[in-house]
Structure formats: structure tokens, C-alpha cells
Structure 1
Amino acid sequence: MHVVSATLGLCLATQGLFAQTGWTVKPEWVRAHEEFLASDVMAGRGSATRDEQIAATYVASEFMGYGLKFAPGMTGYLQSAEVVSPVLDGHATLHVGSATLSEGAGVLLLSSSGVDVQAKLRKVDAAEIAKAGDLKGAAVLLTGKTTLAAARTARRAGAALVLLPRNAEIDHMVEATGGKTQIGIRLKTGLPGSRTLVAVDSQAATSLAAQEDGAVVELRVHELPQPPRSTYNAIGYLPGSDPKAGTILLTAHLDHLGIGPAVNGDTIYNGANDDAAGTTAVLELAHALAAGPQLKRSVLFVCYGSEEAGELGSEFFGEHTPVPLKDLVANVEFEMIGSQDPKMPKDTLLFTGWSRSNLGPTLAAHGAKLGDDPYPDEHFFERSDNYQLALQGVVAHTAAGYGTVPTYHQPNDDLEHLDLPFMTAAIQSLVEPLRWLASSDFKPEWSAGGQPKR
């Protein structure tokens, strides 16, 4: 009897040890994911490209290897969504009153929603754009000393079309983009955004300035036929023991910028930190949690496509969640965890929207190396995939490394510039806190005024 009791005690002690230190995230596992996802052969995993699909397939195969199941209602690990990315013929025309201006002859279409635009002219001095108020649906002609920053302000104020005289800043932008009209990608089911930006030469600017406010401005574009394109989310599911306990959602995005302008001769934007690092975190947390005892709550592991194109993968996921939104207890997004932020305590990730809910502080109290975001002016909380779900009421935040890392959106965001020991330790610190969250009755809540509104 004494031997049995001792054995039982040893078993209980072993279980307790497992609950605290039973899983080690091995650095070679972390490096292996990065070696593949951020390799040159993946060509930067551009949004809604074959390279993105390969990355999603890799993640799906890892989910399968860890023993994750298909999410409820799914018959595989991949969720696809058709996207629209128009290609224009380069012969747009701009009609204002009796005047007609043509692309290539005084008109340069910098960016476009991909559809025709009709709006009423409103002339605004660029220096006064912040005071212009509601510009919703207007065709704004910027006058005075114009800048691209003023154009962005006009678009945020709702302008359907922004016209500005061509200058050195615009010429630099044209050089950087190779003279191509920038056209966003959107879900096929989504609406075109207000992206249309037109530069005009001095003669065209004079002609436009002579028009009366309220004159009808019409931009006509011509779309070329394109084959269908899709973006891909990789989704794995770890069923919990209590179907009524809810689901934890752990996410990252698996795409990056693909091939872009050369910097020091390098055109591949590998995205090792942004966001192969976050994808690696999701993979290794899936690895750890799937290897342990069954959790009370279910866990969804999702790596989104097309975040860089406007968070399209998470937008589609939010509209087609495998479990009801009301059952999502919390979402932690992992973004750029590949390097230590110098403003954060050693070995600590920043957690966006720290004071908006009690999720971050509670995970930190259970050992997660998380702390308050030191960059409130950057609005990181609103700039990652967590925000799509936060707007729908889910307590959703992002854990990140260096918030303003110099390699951001550069070709040198590669394996050589990762801090793999930091990254490994950060993932390790989250294993047991997330295991606790998925095994407890604790339900995170928004602080007063913390939930964002549409």
C-alpha cells in the first residue's frame, strides 16, 4: 500500500511537473520553420500568390503532423477565398466639365480602386486639409504646396478621388513603383476601397483649378481580363473536453510582400520576422498544446493569408468562422516576434492594447513574457489581424517583438536578422500560460471603453 501511494504520489508530481515545465520549444524547430518560410525559394510569400498557397500548405502539413483535427464544418486544413486584383490597360480618362484629360498626357494614375469614379470637385489648400472636415465622396483637388501626406489625409476624410499637381515627391514615388498604378486586392465579396489618387501636370492642374467647386469629375478606367486568384488561411483545431467552455484562437499571418523594388540588389522581401516569426509561434504552440493532456477549452490555430494586402484572410475568417464568434474566448495574434524591442524589458514581448482588456496582464501573471506596448502613437492594436475580431467583440490582441524594427518591409527581413534565442524563449514563455487559459474558467473581458467600435 505504501508503495502504491508512493507511486501515485510520484505520478501526481510528474503530472504537476508536466503542467509547469513539461514541454521545451527546441530552437532547431524554430529555425526549421524559418528556414523554409523565409527562404528565397518562397519568393517573399506574396499575398494571394502560389507562394502564399505553398506556405499555407506547409503550415497545414505541420498541423496534421501534430495531430490537429479539421475545424468544425471543414473538410481540410485550408480555407480559401477568391480575391479581386484588377489590372488596368493604362488608358484612363479624366473628364471635368467640358475638359477631357488622358492618362499619359498630363494625367498619371498613381493608385486606383479599379473601378470608375464619379464625384463633385472640391478644391482644398493642402496646408488646410486637416481642417477641411468631411470629404466623403468628393473629388478633392489639392492646391498650394501639395504632399502625399495631405493626399492620405484627404482619403482618410472620405475623398473618393484625390488630384494633386505632380512634384518631386510624386516623381520619387513613381520611380519606386516602376511607374505602375497601385491597385489593391480585395475579397471578391467586398466593396472597392477609396484608393484613387491622380497626379496631374502643371497645365492640367491649371485647367482643373479653373473649374468651379461642385463640377462633376469622372475618372474612367478599363480593366483587363484576369484569371481568378485566391488567398489561403491554414486552420488547425484542437478539440477540448468541454464543448461549452469556448474556444481560444491563436493566429498569425503567413504572407509577406513577395518580390519588390531592389535594395542593394535584393528584390526578395523574405518576411522572416514579418510574419514567418508569428507563423512559427502558432506552429510551435500547436505542437506543444497538442502533445499534452486534453484541454478543457478547444483551441483554433489559424495562419491567415493576405494580411499585407489589407487583412483579407482575417476578414474572410471573421465572416466564416468555424465556430460561432460568441464562443471565441480570446484571440492572441503573433506579429514580428523575431527581435527584442529596445524599449521593452529584456526577453519581453509587447502586447498591443494592454489596458483595453485584462487578457495581457493575466497571461503575464501566469508567466508569459508580455508587457505594455510602448508605441501608442503607432496604433499597432489597430494594424494587425486581431483588429478584425476585436471590432466584432472578441477580446483580441497582438503579441509582438520590436515594434519599429529597421528591417520592416525591407529585403533584409531575413533569417540573418532574426534573434532566434529571443524568439524561442518568447514562444516558450507562452506555452504554460496558454495551457492554463485553455484549462481554466477565466474569461477575459474588455475594460471600460476598451472595446473598439466600427
Structure 2
Amino acid sequence: MKRVVRGGVAACVLAMALPMTAQQAAWTVKPEWVKAHEEFLASDVMAGRGSATRDEQIAATYVASEFEGYGLQHAPGMSSYLQMATLISPRLDGHATLSAGSVSVSEGKDFDLLVYGGSDLSGKLVRVPITELKTTKFERGSIVLVTGVAGDPGKGFGAYTAARRAGAAAVLLQGEGVEGLYGVLGSQTKVGMHLEGVKPERAQAAALALKSAALDGVAAGTVVTLSAKEMAPAKMETFNAIGYLPGSDPKAGTILLTAHLDHLGTGKPVNGDAIYNGANDDAAGTTAVMEFAHALAAGPKLRRSVLFVCYGSEEMGEYGSLYFGAHSPVPLKDLVANIEFEMIGNQDPKTPKGTLLFTGYDRSNLGLTLKEHGALVGPDPYPEQHFFERSDNYQLALKGVVAHTAAGWGTVPTYHQPNDDIAHLDLPFMTAAIQSFVEPIRWLATSDFVPKWNPGGDPSKEK
């Protein structure tokens, strides 16, 4: 078995976080390989790998070169390891207003515009404490003001996701610390962009973080209107890095292993640091996908083919995976399963020691089966935050592919902050997590096991 060793890598070898079984020891993921990927992707010189930027393209080119070095082939029908997509992005003037009767509040002073769906909107105001959001019913098109949003930013975005799914046209988030949500987005509004030549299916719900109490006196049922001025749209290019390992049986299907290679780029300085390095989010997952390619390409030929994809522009709205889903080099019906790797660089305190959480764990039999074969993975302890729907796996899950995300920590303290850098990674944990998946993935690619959605788990059949 030939192993590729990179030159110029620091000689120190970090201790593994967990002991390996004899099965897992068939291939050793070396910590210096993991560290080398992170030192490049999360370096300051990469300026945070902003979505659809030159830095993202450089990151994609790096991943592509690693795929080629491991001996992967171009995916069927492709003549390159890179897949490019063009995005059309609306631009706003930064002076949106929110009106309710005689009350009018302004962007910047009274609220931050977190998400803009692509059009102005109006709806009746509904007030809901975050603790009652699951049980409160409201009309589709309502403007839902969620109170009591505080602390973990994941709770705020989870509340937005829940209200959006329930039919809210806009979600107003209010509570102590809600001002930090805008910084988590890189201090820029997520706009309703779309792939060139593809009309957006529908406008997404708007999201606002209320910084003032100006709406406190507005009665429930009052019509609230959000207005924003659009400027000329911008055209941008985003890149997916794709490598292909053909199997021995063309009819056995293809395993899809994915991560996203972009992050927030540069943004509002925190303690003088304006580079959002994204070492955990998601250079860590990108590193995992590269090391799976490294391991599987160096081993015996697999029965099933394996497609390795690192997406661009996840942070702007999962556009790399959206494009891939519409232009997959392998028919989606031939994809046996998709495992996305997201923020695996730290251990979540709510999961058993040494394990990753697996989003949508109870939706299918994939997570449990991988666990039975040695993968250090378990259920997601944060179902209310809808992590299953907040990563690239969801684009394919909506098309019926059994697709989940393996993650280290739901919302790590460094999430979308400049200190998401290599110094804040738990490299031994990350290395052990990657190691634990190598042989279960190899088993999946050599077996005839076909993962299935559990009853009621297939999101493509949800209304």
C-alpha cells in the first residue's frame, strides 16, 4: 500500500484522541497531513475563502490538485477537477425600513437585515416566545416576531428556520445578544441570489435582528411592511472541486462524500482581527474529504464508485451544492448515499466523548449502520436547531438521496468568528474522527447495503 507523504510539513506528530481498532488501523490518517491542509486553507493569506471570490477559487484549485495527486480521475463527462457556476446576486443599498402603522424603524439603527428574500413584503404581526414556537400556529405570510432569542446564535437561526418552514414571510428576532447574529453572517445580508439562467423557485423568508424596542408597542395583527432598495445585481463565479474514484461494478452505485470549502472571507474586526479563517467551518470537513480520497485511492479497488466533492458558496446559500444537484456528473438515482462533513474540528459537550453528531440521525438507517461498523457518530442533540436542513446534504436529501451531515459541534463558540483558526482546533479529535470513518466508508463502498429513509424521514416527501 503506497502512502503519500508531503514535504515541508512540521515533523511533530499529534497524539490520537482515541485508540484505533485493528480494523481502523488498515489505513492511518496521519495528523501532520490533517494539520498541513488546515495550515493552507485556514491561513491568513487565504483571507477567509469568501464565497464566490478568488480566494474560494484558489481553495478549490488546491483541493483539485490534491485529488489529482491521490490518483482520482475526472468525474464522468468532466475534463477538469473543477465545476464552475455563475451566480446572480442582488445588491441592497443598506437602508431598508420596517413599518407598522405609524411606527417606522430603519436598518442599522433599529435592526440588522440578516436575510432578504428578494422582494418587499407585508404581513400581519404575530408575537411568539421562542419557547412556544414549536406549538404556535399562524397564517402563512405572517410576520413572526420571536422573543427571548439570546445566547447561542444557533438558537436564533434555528428559530428562523422553524418559523420559515411554518410559513412566515419574515422572522423578527428579539432578545439579549441578538445583535451578534449579523456578525455571525460576516456583517452582510444574505440576499436571494440565484444561479445564472435559473429563476429562483421562490423567495426565501426575510430575517431581521431587532436592536431596539421600537416595535414593543405594536399590537399583534398589525400589518408590517419590509421595504429595501435594490441596486444593479452583481455576477459572480463559484467553484466546486470534484474527484472520482471508479469502482469495479458500474451497476453498484456511487458513494458521495462532501464538504464545503468556502467561508465568510473578511468582515467586521473582532479584537483587531478581520479575517474569518474558517478553520473549523469548513476547512475541517474539506480536510476530511481529501483524506478519505487519500485513503481510498491508495487501497484496493472498491466495488462502488466514490465521488468526492468540495462545494463553493455554501455560506451564501448552498449554491455550490444546488448547482451540483442540477449538474451532477453521476445520475442522482445512482447515488447510494451522501455524507457531508461539517465543522468536525471540535468535540460537542453534549455528545459522547470522541463522537460526531449525525444530523437527521433518526431519519434513515445510514448513521446507525455506520456506527455499527466503527464510525464515531451518534444522534444530533439539537433537533430544534434544524441542522439537518442547514448544510449541503439537504439539497440532495430534497431530491430523495439519503444524505446527512457529520459534525463535531452544533454551534462551536468560534462559529463565524475571526478566531475560527487553527489554534482553536482540537486536531487530535479531528484526526481520530476522520480515522474512524475510513473503514466504515470502505465497507459501504464494497458492500451491497443500500441505505433507506425511515418512515416519515424522507424530506423529498414532506409537504
* Gap regions ≥5 residues in structure 2: 1-21, 151-155
Alignment match, 1:297: 304
Residue identity opposite 1:70 in structure 2: H
Cα distance, 1:276 vs. partner? 0.7
Larger Rg: 1
Residue identity opposite 2:292 in structure 1: L
Alignment match, 2:321: 314
Secondary structure in 1 matching 2:406? strand
Cα distance, 1:311 vs. partner? 1.9
Secondary structure in 2 matching 1:241? coil
Alignment match, 1:122: 124
Mapped to 1, the partners of 2:185 and 2:363 lie a distance apart of 42
Alignment match, 1:85: 89
* Gap regions ≥5 residues in structure 1: 1-17
State TM-score, norm by structure 2.
0.78
Say if 1:106 and 1:390 are closer, same or farther in 2 by CA, change over 3 A. closer
Mapped to 1, the partners of 2:211 and 2:26 lie a distance apart of 64
Secondary structure in 2 matching 1:225? strand
Residue identity opposite 2:87 in structure 1: V
Alpha carbons 2:117, 2:205 under 8 Å: kept: no
Q: How does 1:249-260 map to 2 (within 5 A)?
A: 249-260=256-267
Single out whichever of 183-192 and 417-426 deviates more from structure 2.
183-192
Mapped to 2, the partners of 1:448 and 1:367 lie a distance apart of 25
Q: How does 1:53-452 map to 2 (within 5 A)?
A: 53-90=57-94, 110-111=113-114, 113=116, 115-119=118-122, 121-125=123-127, 130=133, 133-138=137-142, 140=143, 152=160, 155=164, 157-161=166-170, 172=179, 182-184=189-191, 186-188=193-195, 189=198, 190=200, 191-195=202-206, 197=208, 221-452=228-459
Mapped to 1, the partners of 2:210 and 2:260 lie a distance apart of 34
Alignment match, 2:35: 31
Mapped to 1, the partners of 2:424 and 2:301 lie a distance apart of 37
Alpha carbons 2:24, 2:435 under 8 Å: kept: no
Residue identity opposite 1:160 in structure 2: A
Alpha carbons 1:358, 1:444 under 8 Å: kept: yes
Mapped to 1, the partners of 2:94 and 2:428 lie a distance apart of 49
Alpha carbons 1:113, 1:193 under 8 Å: kept: yes
Residue identity opposite 2:64 in structure 1: A
Cα distance, 1:202 vs. partner? 8.9
Secondary structure in 1 matching 2:354? coil
Cα distance, 1:168 vs. partner? 9.0
Secondary structure in 2 matching 1:85? strand
Cα distance, 1:133 vs. partner? 3.3
Alignment match, 1:49: 53
Say if 1:296 and 1:161 are closer, same or farther in 2 by CA, change over 3 A. closer
Residue identity opposite 1:371 in structure 2: G
Say if 1:104 and 1:388 are closer, same or farther in 2 by CA, change over 3 A. closer
Residue identity opposite 2:141 in structure 1: G
Say if 1:178 and 1:405 are closer, same or farther in 2 by CA, change over 3 A. closer
Secondary structure in 1 matching 2:344? coil
Say if 1:26 and 1:163 are closer, same or farther in 2 by CA, change over 3 A. closer
Deviations along 1:239-273, one digit per CA (max 9) or x if unpaired, are 11111000001111111222222222222121111
Deviations along 1:94-145, one digit per CA (max 9) or x if unpaired, are 7899x997968998673563644254x524455699577343235x4869x8
Mapped to 1, the partners of 2:409 and 2:222 lie a distance apart of 47
Residue identity opposite 1:193 in structure 2: Q
Secondary structure in 1 matching 2:401? coil
State TM-score, norm by structure 1.
0.80
Residue identity opposite 2:294 in structure 1: H
Mapped to 2, the partners of 1:386 and 1:240 lie a distance apart of 23
CA RMSD of aligned residues (A): 3.9
Say if 1:405 and 1:147 are closer, same or farther in 2 by CA, change over 3 A. closer
Alignment match, 2:14: none
Cα distance, 1:355 vs. partner? 3.0
Mapped to 2, the partners of 1:35 and 1:104 lie a distance apart of 38
Cα distance, 1:171 vs. partner? 9.5
Mapped to 2, the partners of 1:244 and 1:40 lie a distance apart of 45
Cα distance, 1:157 vs. partner? 4.1
Secondary structure in 1 matching 2:367? helix
Say if 1:142 and 1:241 are closer, same or farther in 2 by CA, change over 3 A. closer
Identity of paired residues, percent?
A: 63
Alpha carbons 2:356, 2:408 under 8 Å: kept: yes
Say if 1:309 and 1:74 are closer, same or farther in 2 by CA, change over 3 A. same
Single out whichever of 187-196 and 391-400 deviates more from structure 2.
187-196
Alpha carbons 1:117, 1:160 under 8 Å: kept: no
Alpha carbons 2:126, 2:221 under 8 Å: kept: no
Alignment match, 1:13: none
